[in-house]
Each structure stands twice: as structure tokens, then as C-alpha cells.
Amino acid sequence: MSIMRSVLLAGAESVWLRERAMRYPFVRRSVSRFMPGESMTEALEACRRQQAERGTGAILTHLGENLETLEEADAVTRHYLELLDRIEAVRLDAQVSVKLTQLGLDLGRDACSEHLAELAARAQAHGTFLWIDMESSKYVDATLDVYRRVKVRTPRLGVCLQAYLHRTAADVESLLPLAPAIRLVKGAYREPPDVAFPKKADVDENYLRLAERLLRPGLPPGTFLGIGTHDERIVTRLQALVTERRLNADAFEFEMLYGIQRQLQARLVREGAPLRVLISYGEFWFPWYMRRLAERPANVLFVLKSML
């Protein structure tokens, strides 16, 4: 792992740094490149613009994690129910993604599963899709357990897996009988080398290997891959693989973050590739922001420019 990436991921975990950095105008200016605003209304407006101007759908997520009470989890669930209803009311091509620690995972899997099931049922009733974000490695077993519980009841449910974890290939195989929807990302948490590949080249290789497995013909009908990467080399290789295997467009899509690799996103739109943009909003943005910088340290240059 590079020194820059290690520093940024350590910063994401620092309460001291979060409390101070969020006060500075240049930090707020720089984060606006990657997040259209803190409110639900601002996120929905950004989604509307994406759809009107570029024809791309979106995935919306309200930032936050690790709640302390079930009452807080109830409030988050109500927030997401409202978001799903507002998406339906204005006919946006938008999905929703949630962190299970926002829904009370630290307080028990049963309560978390019920919160997730309520959201998944509302998403399914509106004809849209619900995603589960993956968090640090200590949550993988619990997250996949809750995913399996709820997917049996509401099929329009997907889960994120991280290519930098050694275990992910086995997790993919265990999920395939469920005809899963999987968003594959590289990973953005600090993990020890016995848990995650420390070298970028190894993560990239594993990403391609996992994506190739999930794009293989003959998988259970309904299996879906969200290709969550901004790496143009990987995107180009997977585009070639999709063409070679003559895969239907409903078997995969590219998923990229708002404001990152804008030229690559524009190229995919021009080429007619399925693309969905992840739009985050909320007041708890600092840890998320530092992880986004760690995923692509070149964005640190943009922050430095913002200071000037």
C-alpha cells in the first residue's frame, strides 16, 4: 500500500482531523467536486440533471455509519423510505445504496435485517433496486448473512464485494447459487496484509479475475455485475470481454462516483455502455471523502488547487 493511501485512510478514521478539517472552506470547496450537496433534495436534483443531460441513471446514498441506538436506525430507515418514495414520485432512474451499520448492524442482525427488508420491499414495490454497501472486513460475514436473509424475500437486492480482500473469490462462489447482483469495487479501508492484498497490482489482477468470473456465460439467470471502478485500463479490458462474450446489457453496468473520471464517464456514454453514477449526500462526509481520495490519490492535486 502506498504511503499516500495509508495516510489518507488513517485520516478517514481520525475524529480529531474530521472535527477540524470540516471547518475549513477549502475542504468544503474540494468535496463539492465529488458530492453535489448535503441534502436529499440536492442529491435528487443532481440525479435529475445526470438523467436529463447524459441519459445516465444514479445510485443515491446518505452518508453515515456505526449508529449507537435502534432509534437512530429507525430514523435512517424512515429517511431512506422517504428517498425511495421521492424517487418514484418524480420518476427518476435512481437506485438506493445503504450501509448496514446505518440500519443497526452493530446492535444485532435481526433488527438490521428487518430494517433492510422494509427498504427492499419498498424498492421492489416501486420497481427499483436496493444495494448494500460493504464496510470494513470485520463486517463481511454479518453483511453477507443479512443479504442472504433478505434476498430470499425480495430479489431486487444487491451487495458490494471488495476485490482487495483475499476472501472475496470464495464469497463470490458462495453467492452464485442465489443469482446475485454484485457491485465489485477495489476496497477503501485500512486492512492488514493477511486480510487484503497490499499491492495495487495484485488488487487489480484480482479485480479482473473476479469480474471475468461474474461475466461468464452460463451463470444463474438474473446474476448481475456492477463494475465499480474508475481504472480506465480495467474498464477497457472488461468492455472487450463483454463484446467478445456477446453479453446482454442487462447483465452488467459500469458504476462510477459523481465527479470522478468525468472524461471516462463521457466516453462510456458516447459508446452506449450502461453507466450508473453513485451520488452521495449528507453531513457525515469526511470519512467517505478521505476514502475517495485514497482510492484515487491523483485527486489530492485537485484539493491542493482548491487551497489556492
Contact 138, 165 (CB under 8 A): no
- The band of 116, judged by pLDDT with boundaries at 50, 70 and 90, is very high
Contact 170, 137 (CB under 8 A): no
* Per-residue pLDDT tens digits for 131-155: 999 999 999 999 999 999 999 999 9
Mean pLDDT score across all residues of the chain: 88
267 is known as an active-site residue: no
DSSP character string of 201-255: HHHHHHHHHHHHHHT-TTPPTT-EEEE----HHHHHHHHHHHHHHT--GGGEEEE
Asked if the model's pLDDT at residue 303 lies above 90, the reply is no
- The band of 27, judged by pLDDT with boundaries at 50, 70 and 90, is low
* Per-residue pLDDT tens digits for 89-98: 999 999 999 9
How many Å apart are CA 44 and CA 28, to the nearest integer?
Answer: 20
78 is known as an active-site residue: no
* Per-residue pLDDT tens digits for 187-215: 988 899 999 999 999 999 999 999 999 99
How many Å apart are CA 248 and CA 206, to the nearest integer?
Answer: 24
Asked if the model's pLDDT at residue 298 lies above 70, the reply is no
| Residue of higher predicted confidence among 294 and 274 | 274
- The band of 308, judged by pLDDT with boundaries at 50, 70 and 90, is very low
Residue among 133, 171, 204, 231 flagged as catalytic: 133
How many Å apart are CA 26 and CA 121, to the nearest integer?
Answer: 41
% residues pLDDT > 70 (the chain): 81
- The band of 307, judged by pLDDT with boundaries at 50, 70 and 90, is very low
Domains of the chain listed by start with CATH number: 36-284 (3.20.20.220)
Residue among 5, 122, 156, 183 flagged as catalytic: 183
Note the pLDDT of residue 29.
62
Average pLDDT (11-38) is 61
